[in-house]
C-alpha cells in the first residue's frame, strides 16, 4: 500500500464520514427532543436521491404521492379530533396548515417535473418534497405516543422504517439510481486526484454542520430545542411546546437525510433500501457520542468513514461487518467509562 | 374451568394440524418455531422491559453451527445442539454484560449491529457456503429412528415449544420470576430486596437467546439446508412484531402473534403482488402500519382481548403458617445504626452536610425537616441507593457505607419508597412475596422445572402473614394497582416486613394518607416496636410523628438542626424558626 492509496482511501473515508456526521447529528437531535431512536432516518436518504433522480428523468417522483397521502391522513385525523372535541371552529385553519403546503408543493412538482430545470433547482424541489415527510411521519406515528416508554417508541420507529422501505419499493421500484455529479471538475494535487463531487460533499456537509452549530448556540429557537432535549417537562413549564420541538426536529432530520441522499447520489448507486445501512452507520457514530454529545458523535462518524474505506481495501467483503462489529468495543468502552445510577422517574 | 377447556381445545387444535395437507403442516411447523423464539422475546420485552432485534441472528448461530459440524465433520446433531447452546448463550452473555448496565436503548442497538454483522458474515465467509448456504444436513435420529417425516418433526417442534412455554410460565411464577417482572419499574426496588437487577436482566436475555438457539437448531434439521436469508435483521424485527401484535405481556401472546403474523404473511404474499402488479415483500408496509396502530390503541395486543373474556385465575391456597427462618433480633437498646459525619455533594451543592445521628435497637426515630432539607437524600445514603461523598455509616459494628443496596438489604435493612413502587399488575400478595427474596434460595432451574413448590407455599404463607399483620388481609388478591394510595403504602410496609428486617426504613409513609389511615399506620408502627423492631421514619407530618416516635432528628439545609425527644423538639426555638419562619 503506497502513499497515494492511503490518500485515496482517506479521501473516501472523509467523504463518507462527512455524511455520517450529518446523519449522527440528526439522530442525536431527534433522540434528545423526542426520545425516538430514529431508525427510519436512512429512508429520507434514499428518498432524497430517488426523488432527485425522478426529477432528472422528467418523471413525477413517487414521494409526491406519499406526501399527499400522508397529508390527507393527517387532515382526516385532525378533523376527527377537532370535531369530537367540539373545536370545529378551528377546523378550517388546521386543514389549511395541513393541506395547503403539500398541495402547493405537489402542484409545483407537477409543473416542474417535465421542465428539465437546472440541477440546483431540482435539488431545491427535492428538498421541498422530502422535508415535509418528516413532520408528517412524526404527527402520524410518534406524536400520539409521546408519553409512551422509549421501548415502545423504538418499536414504533422500526415499524415506520418497514413502512417507508416498503413504500420506497412501491413508488420507485427495485432499480438503483445514480444522479449526475454536481461538478465534473477533477483537481490534481501531486499524485492525488480529487473529484469536484467529493469537494461538494465535504463543503456542503461542513457548511451545514456549521449552520447547525450556529443555530443551536446563537438562536433562541435553537436554544429552546436544546432545552427540550435536556429536560422536557422543564421546557414545557417555560412555554416551549414539546410537540412543536418534535415537529421541528423531524423536519430537520428529514432535511439532513434528504441532503445526504442528494450528496451521495452521484457517488454510489442508491436503491430504495440503501438508506438503512447508511443511516445505521450514522448511528454507530452517534453511539460513540452516547446519543448525546455532538462533538464526540462527529468524531465517531468520521472514524466510521475511515474504518469503512480502509477495511474495504484490505477486506472488501467484510467492510460492513467491520463497521457494525466496531459497535461492541465502543459500547464496552462507554459501559466501563461511565457510572450508572438510576434516576427517580 | 374455562381456562382449562380453552387450553385443551388449543392442544387438540395443535395435534390435529398433521391431518391437513403437507402445506399446512409446514406452516404449522413454522408457527411452532417462531412461537418458541417469540416466547423468549415476551419474557425479554413484555415482562422485563428490554428488547432485542437479534433473535433471528441467534437462530442463525445455532443453525450454522449444527450445519457446519454435522455436514463437514459428521458430528451427531445432539452433540452440536450442546455446542450451539453454549455458543449462543456465551454470545448473549457478552452482549448483555456490555450493554445491560447502560440505558435501555443500547441493547437493541447492539443487537441490530450484531444481527447485521452476522448476516454479512454468513453471506461472505466461503466456508459457510456464501449466499447459497450449506445443504444436505443430516436428519435427526431418535432411538435409532430417523426423523424425516414432516408430521413427526411437526410434533417434535410443538413438543419443544410447549415444554418451553411450561418452563417460562413456571419461571415467571417464582422467586426470580417475580423479581424479573419487577424490572420494568426500574431496578432500585428489586435491589432493595437483595436481587441484582443486572444479573436478572442478563438471565432473561440469555434465556431468550437459549430459546432462539433451540429454534435455529430445529430449523436446520427440519429444512436440512441453511442459507443466510432467514436469519437477517428483517426476521429479527418480525419476531418483535409478532409479540407486539399477539400481546407482549403474556407467553400466550407469543403464540397468538406468531400465528397471526405467519398466516398474514403467507396470505399477503399471495395477494399484494397481484394487487400492485409488482413483486417484492410489500407485506412489510401492512405490518408496519399495523404495529404503529397497535402501539397507539391496543398495547396489550390481541391476547389482551382474549384475556378480558377469560375468568380471573383462581387464587392459590395459603398455608396456615410458614417455617421460613427468622434472623435473631439485637437486644433492645444496643446501638444499631450510626451515621457519622456523612456528606453528599452534587458538584458544588451540598445536599447533606456532615450529618451524624444514631439509632438504637427497639427505637423509632423520626427524621424531619422542611421540604428540600435533604431528608430523602440522607435516607438514600443509608439504603445505599446513592453513594456518599464523605463520612461513614455503620450498621451494628459493621461499616455499610460504600455497599450496594442488595448487600445492605442482606444485613437486615428493609425499606419502603417515597413514590410507591409496587407492580400494578401483580396481586398485593405477589408484591409482598418479593420481600422474601433473600430468605429463600430457589434458582431459575428449580423454578423452571417446578421443583420449588414447597418453598413457594412457605413464601406465600409468610406474605399472607405479613398482610394480616398490617391489617390488609382482605386485599391480598387484588391487583396492587387497584388499591388506594394509602393501602399501597401499607402493602409496601408488608413487603418490607417480609424481608424479616432488623431495621425498617420508611420514606414518608404518611404522605397522601387520610387522617384515619394515619392513625392506623401509627398504631401498626408502635405494635412493631412492641415486637422489638427498630424503625427510621423520614416524614414531614409533625403531628403524625409526635405521639409515635422515641426521638426526632431535625434537618435543615442538609445539616442537623436539632435532636431530642418529641417534647423538646416541639419547643425548640430553632425548629420553630425553620418551620414557621420565627414566632
Other Cβ atoms closer than 10 A to B66: 31
Contacts of B98 in chain A (CB under 8 A): 328, 331-332, 335
Q: What pLDDT is stored for residue B199 in this prediction?
A: 92
Q: And the C-alpha cell for B493?
A: 410496609
- How confident is the model at residue B241, as a pLDDT? 95
pLDDT over 70 percentage in chain B:
99
Of A149, A320, A328, the CB nearest to B110: A328
**B187:A332 CB<8 A:** no
| Residue written as grid cell 410434533 | B155
The full DSSP string for B498-558 is HT--SEEEEESTTTT--HHHHHHHHHHHHHHHHTT-EEEEE---HHHHHTT-SEEEEEETT
pLDDT at B1: 78
Query: What is the complex's ipTM, to 2 decimals?
Result: 0.90
Record: contact B113-A324, CB cut-off 8 A: yes
Is residue B107 within 8 Å of A337, Cβ to Cβ? no
B298-315: average pLDDT: 89
Looking at residue A338, what is its pLDDT?
A: 65
How far is residue B300's CA from residue B256's CA, in Å, rounded to a whole number? 12
CA distance, residue A196 to nearest chain B CA (Å)? 33
Contacts of B106 in chain A (CB under 8 A): 287, 331, 334
| Residue in B closest to A144 by C-alpha | B296
Average pLDDT over residues B255-271: 93
User: Residue B212: exposed, middle, or buried by beta-carbon count in 10 A (0-12, 13-18, 19+)?
Assistant: buried
Q: How far is CA A234 from the centre of its chain?
A: 27
Q: Rounded to whole angstroms, what are the CA distances from B479 to B430, B498, B525?
A: 9, 18, 25
Interface contact A166-B282, CB threshold 8 A: yes
Question: Of B108, B240, B288, which is closest to A160 when you measure between CB atoms?
Answer: B288
The three-point CA angle A121-A124-A128 to 5° equals: 135
Put simply, the chain A residues between 94 and 153 with a CB less than 8 A from any chain B CB are 140-141, 144-145, 148-152
CA A39 → CA A92, A276, B14, B237, B462, distances in Å?
Answer: 34, 8, 37, 12, 48
Across the interface, of B99, B101, B108, the residue whose CB is closest to A154 is B108
Q: What does the pLDDT read at residue B103?
A: 67
* Per-domain residue ranges of chain B: 27-308, 332-412+503-513+532-583, 421-500
Q: What is the 3-state secondary structure (H, E, C) of B295-357?
A: HHHCCCHHHHHHHHHCCCCCCCCCCCCCCCCCCCCCCCCCEEEEEEEEEEEECCEEEEEEEEE
Q: Which of A158, A320, A340 sits opposite B237 (nearest CB)?
A: A158
Among the partner residues A154, A169, A338, nearest to B280 by beta-carbon distance: A169
Least CB–CB distance from B124: residue in A158, A280, A317: A317
Task: Return mean pLDDT, chain B.
Answer: 90
- Cβ(B216)–Cβ(B84) below 8 Å: yes
Total beta-carbon pairs less than 8 A apart between chain A and chain B: 138
CB-nearest to A162 from B112, B237, B278 is B237
Instruction: Write out residues 419-478 of B within 8 Å (CB-CB) of A.
Output: 419
Q: Round to whole Å and give the CA distance between B363 and B369.
A: 20
Window B:24-53, CB contacts with A under 8 Å: 45, 49-51, 53
CA distance B185 to A344: 10
Share of chain A above pLDDT 70, in %: 97
Which 282-311 residues of chain B touch chain A by CB within 8 A? 282-285, 287-289, 291-292, 295-296, 299
A73 touches chain B (CB under 8 A): no
Q: What is the pLDDT of residue A343?
A: 38
> Cell 395459603 maps to which residue?
B318
Confidence of residue B516 (pLDDT cuts 50, 70, 90): confident
Q: Is pLDDT at A336 greater than 80 in this prediction?
A: no
pLDDT at A107 over 50: yes
CB distance B280–A317 less than 8 Å?
no
Do residues A258 and A44 touch, judged by C-beta distance below 8 A?
yes
pLDDT at A255 over 90: yes
Fold of B332-412+503-513+532-583: Rossmann fold (3.40.50)
CB contacts, 8 Å: B385 with chain A: 341
- Residue B439: phi and psi, rounded to 5, are -90, -10
B39 CA: distance to closest CA in chain A (Å): 17
Helix H segments across B331-476?
A: 375-383, 405-410, 428-433, 444-448, 453-469
Which among B104, B109, B296 is the nearest to A145, CB-wise?
B296
Note whether A321 contacts B120, CB cutoff 8 Å: yes
Q: Do A154 and B51 make contact, defined as CB atoms within 8 angstroms?
A: yes
pLDDT digits (tens, 9 = 90+) for B41-88: 999 999 998 999 999 999 999 999 999 999 989 999 999 999 999 999
Q: Searching chain B, which residue's CA lies closest to the CA of residue A39?
A: B109
The grid cell for A312 is 474495504
Show residues of chain A in contact with B186, CB under 8 Å: 342, 345
- Domain B27-308 fold is ABC transporter involved in vitamin B12 uptake, BtuC (1.10.3470)
Determine the residue of chain A that is closest to B119 in CA distance. A321
The model's pLDDT over B463-480, given as tens digits with 9 standing for 90+, comes to: 999 999 888 889 999 999
Q: CA–CA separation, A288 vs A330, rounded Å? A: 6
Cβ(B561)–Cβ(B369) below 8 Å: yes
**In chain B, whose CA is at the least distance from the CA of A146?**
B296
DSSP A148: S
**Alpha-carbon torsion angle B160, B163, B167, B170, nearest 10:** 160
Cβ separation of A291 and B289 shorter than 8 Å?
Answer: no
Among candidates A267, A260, A282, which has minimal Cα distance to A127? A260
**Alpha-carbon torsion B488, B491, B492, B493, what sign?**
positive
Residues in chain B: 583
d(CA B24, CA B154): 10
At A342 the pLDDT is 41
Confidence band (pLDDT; 50, 70, 90) for A180? confident
Instruction: Tell me how far apart the alpha carbons of residues B478 and B465 are, in angstroms, rounded to a whole number.
Output: 16
Chain B: nearest CA to A278, how far in angstroms?
A: 12
- The Cα of A55 is separated from the nearest Cα of chain B by a number of Å equal to 22
Chain B residues whose beta carbon lies within 8 Å of the beta carbon of residue A327? 109-110, 113-114
- Res. A115 pLDDT band, cuts 50 70 90: confident
With CB atoms and an 8 Å threshold, state whether A159 touches B110: no
Over pLDDT 90: what percentage of chain A? 37
Among B292, B384, B420, the strongest candidate for a mutation testing the A interface, having the largest count of A CBs within 10 A, is: B292
Does position B580 have pLDDT exceeding 80, yes or no? no
> For B559, phi and psi rounded to 5 degrees?
-120, 160
Amino acid at each position: 500500500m503506497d502513499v497515494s492509496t492511503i490518500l485515496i482511501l482517506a479521501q473516501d473515508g472523509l467523504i463518507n464520514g462527512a455524511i455520517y456526521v450529518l446523519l449522527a447529528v440528526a439522530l442525536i437531535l431527534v433522540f434528545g427532543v423526542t426520545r425516538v431512536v430514529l431508525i427510519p432516518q436512512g429512508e429520507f436518504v434514499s428518498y432524497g436521491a430517488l426523488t432527485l433522480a425522478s426529477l432528472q428523468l422528467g418523471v413525477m417522483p413517487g414521494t409526491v404521492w406519499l406526501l399527499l397521502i400522508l397529508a390527507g391522513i393527517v387532515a382526516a385525523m385532525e378533523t376527527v379530533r377537532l370535531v369530537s372535541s367540539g373545536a370545529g371552529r378551528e377546523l378550517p385553519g388546521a386543514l389549511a396548515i395541513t393541506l395547503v403546503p403539500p398541495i402547493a408543493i405537489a402542484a409545483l412538482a407537477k409543473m416542474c417535473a417535465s421542465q428539465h430545470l437546472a440541477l440546483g433547482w431540482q435539488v431545491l424541489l427535492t428538498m421541498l418534497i422530502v422535508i415535509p415527510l418528516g413532520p408528517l411521519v412524526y404527527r402520524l406515528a410518534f406524536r400520539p405516543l409521546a408519553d409512551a416508554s422509549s421501548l415502545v417508541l423504538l418499536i414504533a420507529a422500526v415499524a415506520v422504517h418497514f413502512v417507508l422501505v416498503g413504500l420506497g419499493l412501491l413508488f420507485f421500484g427495485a432499480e438503483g439510481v445514480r444522479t449526475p455529479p454536481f461538478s465534473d471538475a477533477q483537481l490534481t494535487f501531486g499524485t492525488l486526484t480529487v473529484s469536484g463531487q467529493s469537494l461538494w460533499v465535504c463543503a456542503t456537509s461542513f457548511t451545514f454542520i456549521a449552520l447547525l452549530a450556529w443555530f443551536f448556540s446563537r438562536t433562541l429557537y435553537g436554544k429552546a430545542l436544546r432545552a427540550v432535549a435536556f429536560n422536557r417537562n422543564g421546557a414545557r413549564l417555560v412555554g416551549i411546546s414539546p410537540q412543536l420541538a418534535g415537529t421541528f426536529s423531524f423536519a430537520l432530520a428529514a432535511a439532513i437525510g434528504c441532503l445526504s441522499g442528494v450528496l451521495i447520489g452521484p457517488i454510489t448507486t442508491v436503491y430504495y433500501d440503501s438508506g438503512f445501512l447508511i443511516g445505521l452507520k450514522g448511528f454507530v457514530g452517534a453511539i460513540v457520542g452516547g446519543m448525546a454529545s455532538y462533538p464526540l458523535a462527529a468524531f465517531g462518524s468520521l472514524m466510521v468513514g475511515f474504518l469503512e474505506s480502509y477495511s474495504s481495501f484490505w477486506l472488501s467483503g467484510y467492510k460492513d461487518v467491520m463497521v457494525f462489529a466496531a459497535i461492541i468495543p465502543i459500547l464496552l468502552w462507554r459501559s466501563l467509562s461511565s457510572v450508572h445510577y438510576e434516576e427517580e422517574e | 374451568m374455562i381456562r382449562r377447556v380453552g387450553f385443551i381445545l388449543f392442544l387438540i387444535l395443535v395435534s390435529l394440524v398433521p391431518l391437513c395437507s403437507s402445506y399446512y403442516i409446514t406452516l404449522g411447523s413454522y408457527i411452532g418455531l417462531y412461537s418458541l423464539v417469540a416466547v423468549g422475546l415476551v419474557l425479554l420485552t413484555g415482562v422485563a422491559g428490554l428488547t432485542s432485534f437479534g433473535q433471528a441472528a441467534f437462530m442463525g448461530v445455532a443453525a450454522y453451527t449444527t450445519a457446519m459440524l454435522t455436514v463437514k465433520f459428521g458430528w451427531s446433531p445432539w452433540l452440536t445442539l450442546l455446542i450451539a447452546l453454549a455458543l449462543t448463550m456465551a454470545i448473549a452473555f457478552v452482549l448483555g454484560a456490555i450493554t445491560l448496565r447502560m440505558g435501555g436503548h443500547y441493547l437493541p442497538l447492539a443487537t441490530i449491529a450484531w444481527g447485521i454483522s452476522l448476516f454479512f458474515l454468513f453471506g461472505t465467509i466461503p466456508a459457510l457456503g456464501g449466499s447459497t448456504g450449506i445443504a444436505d444436513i443430516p436428519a435427526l435420529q431418535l432411538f435409532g429412528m430417523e426423523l424425516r417425516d414432516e408430521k413427526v418433526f411437526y410434533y417434535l417442534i410443538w413438543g419443544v415449544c410447549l415444554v418451553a412455554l411450561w418452563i417460562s410460565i413456571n419461571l415467571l411464577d417464582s422467586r426470580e420470576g417475580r423479581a424479573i417482572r419487577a424490572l420494568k419499574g426500574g431496578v432500585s426496588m428489586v435491589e432493595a430486596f437483595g436481587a441484582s437487577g443486572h444479573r436478572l436482566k442478563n438471565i432473561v436475555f440469555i434465556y431468550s437467546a437459549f430459546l432462539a438457539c433451540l429454534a435455529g437448531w430445529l430449523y436446520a434439521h427440519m429444512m436440512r439446508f441453511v442459507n443466510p436469508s432467514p436469519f437477517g435483521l428483517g426476521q429479527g424485527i418480525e419476531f418483535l412484531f409478532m409479540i407486539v401484535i399477539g400481546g407482549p405481556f403474556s407467553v400466550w401472546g407469543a403464540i397468538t402473534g406468531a400465528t397471526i403474523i405467519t398466516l398474514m404473511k403467507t396470505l399477503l404474499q399471495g395477494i399484494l403482488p397481484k394487487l400492485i402488479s409488482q413483486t417484492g415483500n410489500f407485506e412489510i408496509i401492512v405490518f408496519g402500519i399495523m404495529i404503529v396502530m397497535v402501539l397507539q390503541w391496543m398495547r396489550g395486543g390481541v391476547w389482551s382481548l382474549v384475556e378480558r373474556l377469560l375468568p380471573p385465575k383462581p387464587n392459590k391456597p395459603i398455608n396456615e403458617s410458614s417455617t421460613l427462618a427468622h434472623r435473631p433480633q439485637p437486644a433492645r437498646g444496643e446501638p444499631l445504626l450510626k451515621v457519622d459525619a456523612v456528606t453528599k455533594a452534587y458538584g458544588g451543592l451540598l445536599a447533606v452536610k456532615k450529618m451524624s445521628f444514631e439509632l438504637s435497637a427497639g427505637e423509632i426515630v423520626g427524621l424531619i425537616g422542611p421540604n428540600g432539607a435533604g431528608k430523602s437524600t440522607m435516607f438514600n445514603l443509608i439504603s445505599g441507593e446513592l453513594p456518599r461523598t464523605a463520612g461513614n455509616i455503620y450498621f451494628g459494628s459493621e461499616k455499610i457505607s460504600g455497599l450496594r443496596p442488595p448487600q445492605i438489604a442482606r444485613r437486615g435493612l428493609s425499606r419502603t419508597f417515597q413514590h410507591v413502587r409496587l407492580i400494578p399488575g401483580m396481586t398485593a400478595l405477589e408484591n409482598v412475596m418479593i420481600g422474601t427474596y433473600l430468605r429463600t434460595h430457589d434458582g431459575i432451574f428449580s423454578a423452571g422445572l417446578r421443583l420449588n413448590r414447597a418453598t413457594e407455599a412457605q413464601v406465600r404463607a409468610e406474605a399472607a402473614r405479613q398482610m394480616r399483620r398490617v391489617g390488609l388481609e382482605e386485599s391480598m388478591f387484588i391487583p396492587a394497582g387497584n388499591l388506594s394510595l394509602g393501602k399501597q403504602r401499607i402493602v409496601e410496609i408488608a413487603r418490607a416486613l417480609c424481608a424479616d428486617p432488623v431495621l425498617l426504613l420508611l420514606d414518608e409513609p404518611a404522605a397522601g394518607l387520610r387522617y384515619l389511615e394515619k392513625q392506623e399506620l401509627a398504631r401498626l408502627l408502635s405494635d412493631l416496636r412492641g415486637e422489638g423492631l427498630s424503625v427510621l421514619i423520614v416524614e414531614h407530618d409533625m403531628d403524625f410523628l409526635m405521639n409515635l416516635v422515641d426521638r426526632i432528628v431535625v434537618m435543615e439545609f442538609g445539616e442537623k438542626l436539632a435532636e431530642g425527644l418529641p417534647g423538646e423538639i416541639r419547643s425548640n426555638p430553632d425548629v420553630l424558626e425553620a418551620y414557621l419562619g420565627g414566632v
